[in-house]
């Protein structure tokens, strides 16, 4: 009976998020007709990529029971470092981004190392990082606006969020995604039949077919503007990497085990410290990619780049079913949660909602998401 209640709670969590997204889309479709236009949906896809990539990195940190409040400031800092290297120091864009990414990996690896070696709460360490990185960011750009490329010379950095695939390439991607989904269903069905394991083939096919339809619909909408934007490919690669890490590798199993019970994981022979450090290093990679995308999307590094993105990333995880206590969550849910946050902010921007109301709304959504997670996590 308790198992049935557990399944009911999981279904309630998923359906509540789906209903929330439907309500958001319906509301903005009525109040801001341009919300469902091809151009705005293309911008929404880019904004989703920025938020979701960071949230996927946050998932890896939350699963073992930690949190990272420094990522928003880190997004600004890493993007700013690359912009300064390009514009003021004359570095090639590729070299500047590689150096900034290496810096992010090193800094987040060190934060993870400090947290596990000194047994200090990640909340405190990353809160310190939030303040320190923000100050360093302003020092790096000297409180000025730093373009991502020299005037009149667009480079790879500037093109990150302005590059679109030609229509034929988008359709090829849709066909590939559909083949991958249907092929995965067929493989699971054959494996279940040969192993004698239970598998609902009809439900599996329905999910695969629906996913294929969504891929085709997405490409059709994107081609209605300029084509599939490059950031969505980076998001797809990040999603596949994180979902593979968490669902199909020993590293992912260790993350869940540590979040479920760190002491039991240690007794089982899991190197808890090394796993947490690697999770923070992966968070650094997500910060670097998001920093480049967010700065390129703004067209320049300014003092506001990355503001409050840590809260959007955490909210996306919680809305998507990730437990702040660790041990529960997946990449698909995080992607869904990021879509809710992004659609909400995008719609409010279209309606010219004041910044004050945006802040209030983000705070309320985060509080409601944590409340719902707490309620649904209590024993039945």
Structure tokens at 157: 């950095």
Structure tokens at 291: 């920093």
Q: Round to whole Å and give the CA distance between 325 and 78.
A: 29
Q: Round to whole Å and give the CA distance between 125 and 227.
A: 42
Give the pLDDT score at 107.
97
Centre a 10 Å sphere on the Cβ of residue 266 and count the other Cβ atoms it contains.
14
**Main-chain dihedrals φ then ψ at residue 322, nearest 5 degrees:** -80, 130
Mean pLDDT of 90-111: 96
Give yes or no for residue 7 having a pLDDT over 80.
Answer: no
Give yes or no for residue 346 having a pLDDT over 80.
Answer: yes
Could you tell me the maximum CA-CA distance found in the chain, to the nearest angstrom?
67
Give the pLDDT score at 10.
59
Three-state SS letters, 115-138: HHHCCCCHHHHHHHHHHHHHHHHH
The pLDDT-based confidence of 3 (bands split at 50, 70, 90) is very low
Give the pLDDT score at 1.
40
Mean pLDDT of 141-156: 88
- Write out pLDDT tens, residues 242-297: 999 999 999 999 999 999 999 999 999 999 999 999 999 999 999 999 999 999 99
Mean pLDDT of 61-86: 97
Number of H helices, E strands in the chain: 15, 2
Structure tokens at 197: 């394991």
Give the pLDDT score at 340.
92
The domain defined by 2-163+229-377 folds into ABC transporter involved in vitamin B12 uptake, BtuC (1.10.3470)
| DSSP secondary structure string for all residues of 308-371 | THHHHHHHHHHHTT--TTSS---HHHHHHHHHHHHHHHHHHHHTT--HHHHHHHHHHHHHHHHH
Residue with the larger pLDDT of the pair 353 and 99: 99
The pLDDT-based confidence of 153 (bands split at 50, 70, 90) is confident
Among 17-21, 184-188, 288-292, 309-313, the range scoring the smallest mean pLDDT is: 17-21
- Find which of 26-35, 92-101, 312-321 is predicted with most confidence, using mean pLDDT: 92-101
Ramachandran region, residue 322 (left: φ > 0; alpha: ψ -120 to 50; beta: rest): beta
Q: Round to whole Å and give the CA distance between 240 and 352.
A: 35
- Write out pLDDT tens, residues 211-222: 899 999 999 999
Is the dihedral angle over the CA atoms 174, 179, 182, 187 positive or is it negative? Answer: negative
Closest alpha carbon to 71 in 51, 47, 86, 98? 51
The pLDDT-based confidence of 364 (bands split at 50, 70, 90) is confident
The pLDDT-based confidence of 192 (bands split at 50, 70, 90) is confident
* Sequence spans of domains, the chain: 2-163+229-377, 164-225
Q: Round to whole Å and give the CA distance between 185 and 202.
A: 10
Mean pLDDT of 233-246: 95
Give yes or no for residue 2 having a pLDDT over 50.
Answer: no
Q: Kindly report the CA angle at 253 between 251 and 258, in degrees rounded to 5?
A: 95
In percent, the amount of the chain with pLDDT more than 70 equals 94
Whole-model pTM: value is 0.92
Give yes or no for residue 379 having a pLDDT over 60.
Answer: no
Which ranges in 63-154 belong to alpha helices (H)?
Answer: 71-87, 93-117, 122-141
DSSP state of 143: T
CA distances from 261 to 115, 118, 209, 216 (A): 18, 20, 37, 42
Mean pLDDT of 8-13: 58
Give yes or no for residue 208 having a pLDDT over 80.
Answer: yes
Structure tokens at 26: 């319906």
């Amino acid at each position: 009976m308790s198992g049935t209640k557990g399944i009911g709670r999981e279904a309630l969590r998923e359906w509540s998020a789906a209903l929330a997204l439907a309500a958001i889309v319906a509301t903005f479709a009525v109040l801001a007709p341009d919300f469902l236009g091809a151009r705005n949906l293309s911008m929404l896809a880019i904004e989703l990529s920025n938020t979701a990539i960071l949230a996927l990195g946050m998932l890896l940190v939350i699963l073992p029971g930690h949190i990272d409040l420094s990522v928003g400031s880190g997004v600004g800092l890493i993007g700013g470092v690359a912009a300064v290297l390009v514009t003021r120091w004359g570095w090639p864009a590729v070299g500047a981004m590689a150096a900034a990414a290496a810096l992010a990996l090193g800094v987040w690896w060190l934060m993870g190392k400090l947290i596990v070696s000194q047994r200090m709460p990640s909340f405190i360490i990353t809160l310190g990082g939030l303040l320190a990185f923000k100050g360093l960011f302003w020092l790096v750009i000297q409180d000025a606006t730093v373009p991502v490329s020299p005037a009149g010379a667009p480079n790879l950095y500037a093109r990150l969020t302005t590059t679109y695939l030609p229509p034929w390439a988008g359709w090829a991607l849709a066909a590939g995604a559909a083949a991958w989904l249907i092929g995965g269903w067929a493989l699971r069905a054959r494996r279940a039949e040969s192993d004698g394991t239970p598998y609902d083939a009809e439900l599996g096919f329905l999910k695969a077919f629906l996913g294929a339809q969504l891929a085709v619909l997405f490409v059709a909408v994107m081609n209605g503007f300029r084509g599939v934007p490059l950031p969505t490919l980076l998001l797809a690669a990040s999603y596949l990497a994180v979902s593979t890490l968490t669902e199909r590798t020993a590293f992912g199993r260790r993350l869940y085990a540590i979040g479920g019970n760190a002491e039991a994981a240690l007794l089982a022979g899991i190197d808890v410290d090394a796993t947490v450090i690697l999770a923070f290093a992966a968070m650094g990679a997500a910060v670097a990619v998001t920093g480049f995308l967010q700065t390129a999307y703004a067209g320049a590094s300014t003092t506001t780049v990355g503001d409050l993105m840590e809260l959007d990333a955490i909210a996306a995880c919680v809305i998507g079913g990730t437990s702040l206590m660790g041990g529960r969550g997946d990449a698909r849910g995080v992607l869904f949660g990021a879509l809710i946050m992004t659609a909400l902010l995008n719609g409010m921007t279209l309606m010219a909602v004041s910044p004050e109301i945006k802040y209030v709304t983000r705070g309320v959504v985060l509080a409601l998401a944590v409340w719902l997670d707490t309620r649904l996590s209590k024993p039945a």
